[in-house]
Amino acid sequence: MQLDLVPHPATPPADPAFKLWANVDYAGAFGATGTLNIWFGIGAPIGRFVIPTSEEPGRRDELWRTTCFEAFLRADGEEAYREYNFAPSGDWAAYDFTAIREGMTETPVDSPPYIRCEDNLTWFAFGATVAIEAGHDWALGLSAVLEEQDGTKSYWALAHHGDQPDFHDPACFTARLE
């Protein structure tokens, strides 16, 4: 499925505006584990953005402080949810929450996400693939923090509610994986 993300009105990108979208594929019928594959497309050259680097990509906290991409998953009927953070550097994070911004713990991960970035000169693509528990219908929230070279930070999501960006707001989990 293709989904458009929108910038929060309080944090627009620098002019001119550009488009951000995501293509999502979910295969959840393979035993206990499913595969979630997300491609984000950014309609601006990669050189416009601060792109973090990492000598040894791995699990890292606070990726949201600069350009990163995020996915939030909540099983139907549950308050608990999972947050994934992915950086173009290959760094990643995964957290479980018992409720909105409560009970945060690191998610045990058997194999790290597969992360890739492609520069297409006038736009760039960022992909992440993760294994998730099968057998659930999922509410999905997608988001991104894009930091531009001039210091502008824009906060993108499928939907926004409130005066400030809050990707943890359940109202932002507008896509469905069944």
Quick one: tokens of 141?
């929230």
pLDDT of 161 over the 80 cut? yes
**Per-residue confidence (pLDDT) for residue 23, from 0 to 100:** 97
Residues 55-70 pLDDT 10s: 999 999 999 999 999 9
Q: Domain of 111?
A: 2-177
Which residue type occupies 24? V
CA distance 35 to 83: 15
CB atoms within 10 A of CB 103: 12
Cβ(76)–Cβ(140) below 8 Å: no
| Residue 150 · residue 14 · CB < 8 Å | yes
Phi/psi at 168 (5° precision): -80, -10
- Check which CATH number belongs to the domain holding 10 and give it: 2.60.40
Number of folded domains that form the chain: 1
Write down the pTM of the prediction.
0.95
Residue type, 41: G
Omega before 16 within 30 of 0, i.e. cis: yes
Per residue in 90-122, pLDDT (tens digit) is: 999 999 999 999 999 999 998 899 999 999 889
Mean pLDDT of 120-129: 94
* pLDDT at residue 134, as a whole number: 83
d(CA 80, CA 84): 14
Segment 17-51, tens digit of pLDDT: 899 999 999 986 556 788 999 999 999 999 999 99
Cα distance between residue 56 and residue 65, in whole Å: 19
**Measured distance CA(161)–CA(168) in Å, rounded:** 10
Mean pLDDT confidence for 1-20: 92
